Amino acid sequence: MSVTRNVLRGVLRSVTRPVIRAGVISRFFTPLDSSASQYYAFDQDVVLTGDYKITFSSTVSASAGTHNIVLGSDFDAGLYITLRSNGQIILQSGAIQVATAIGVLVIGSLNETSIKRVGDIISITNNNVDVASQSEPGLGTLLFNQTGSGAASFGFDGIIANINISGDGIQPIKLNLDENFGVTSIGVNSAPGNIGTYGNVTAQNISTDSPFYTLNATGTVWTSPDGPDLEVAT
């Protein structure tokens, strides 16, 4: 019986997409370690010049650094979307900063965050609650080429997943980041109609198997034999 379980586990660990078995939802989550310079590099720059919407899931621990870059640019230290261990969400573009109050993020749990621009208005929601809205007519182009960061002082400690980016003049990006990055280095843009490699990412400095999680029946906790339980923030 133990042999059967080991074989089954080996098959599941090789899977690089979410698994749904008779109503059971399973997937990989990969915790990033900033001290090991772990992050994902986009194959092409993602440029947002007009209206846009960015959503992502993430965890941040209380012991993480003050800057945990979800989306950023390796050649512009003043351009990023960052999460802080005090529970704050910040969009920074040069001298312009759109920030939420401290304590918005549920520390240690899987949060769902949305940043949306319509005209000059930037709005941020977290776990379906409006947490910031600000007029910024001077906010220009956003250009991202990485998620997480190769710079340890601006790296990411925690999980980034379910990145969705849509906007004026760009092809949609849907990065679940549900691959086992011990098997593959490529995170695939699974947006409908995606052509070629646009929106894909390559994992940097990640070589061990990603923990494989299963969502409980109530949809509140992801559990794994390979890592700690992951609560879904509400």
pLDDT tens digit string along 209-225?
Answer: 999 999 999 999 999 99
Q: According to the model, what pLDDT value does residue 197 have?
A: 77
Q: What is the mean pLDDT of the chain?
A: 88
pLDDT tens profile 23-66 = 689 999 999 998 899 999 999 999 999 999 999 999 998 887 77
Q: According to the model, what pLDDT value does residue 75 have?
A: 73
Q: According to the model, what pLDDT value does residue 18 have?
A: 56
All structural domains of the chain with their residue ranges: 27-231
pLDDT tens profile 82-140 = 999 999 999 998 888 999 999 999 999 999 999 999 999 999 999 999 999 999 988 88
Q: What is the DSSP string of the chain?
A: -HHHHHHHHHHHHH--S-EEETTEEEEE--EE-GGGT-EEEEEEEEEE-SSEEEEEEE---TTS-S-EEEEEETTEEEEEEEE-TTS-EEEEETTEEEE--TT-S-TTSBEEEEEEEETTEEEEEETTEEEEEEE-TT---EEEEEEE-SSGGG---EEEEEEEEEETTS--EEE---S-TTT-SEEP---TT--TTTT-EEEES--SPPPEEEE-TTSSEEE-SSS--EEBP-
If pLDDT is split at 50, 70 and 90, which confidence band does 22 have?
low
Question: What's the rounded mean pLDDT across residues 175-180?
Answer: 97
Q: According to the model, what pLDDT value does residue 3 have?
A: 39
Among 3-12, 150-159, 162-171, whose mean pLDDT is lowest?
Answer: 3-12
Question: What's the rounded mean pLDDT across residues 175-190?
Answer: 96
If pLDDT is split at 50, 70 and 90, which confidence band does 21 have?
low
- Does the 27-231 domain belong in CATH 2.60.120.200? yes
pLDDT at 12 over 70: no
pTM over 0.85: yes
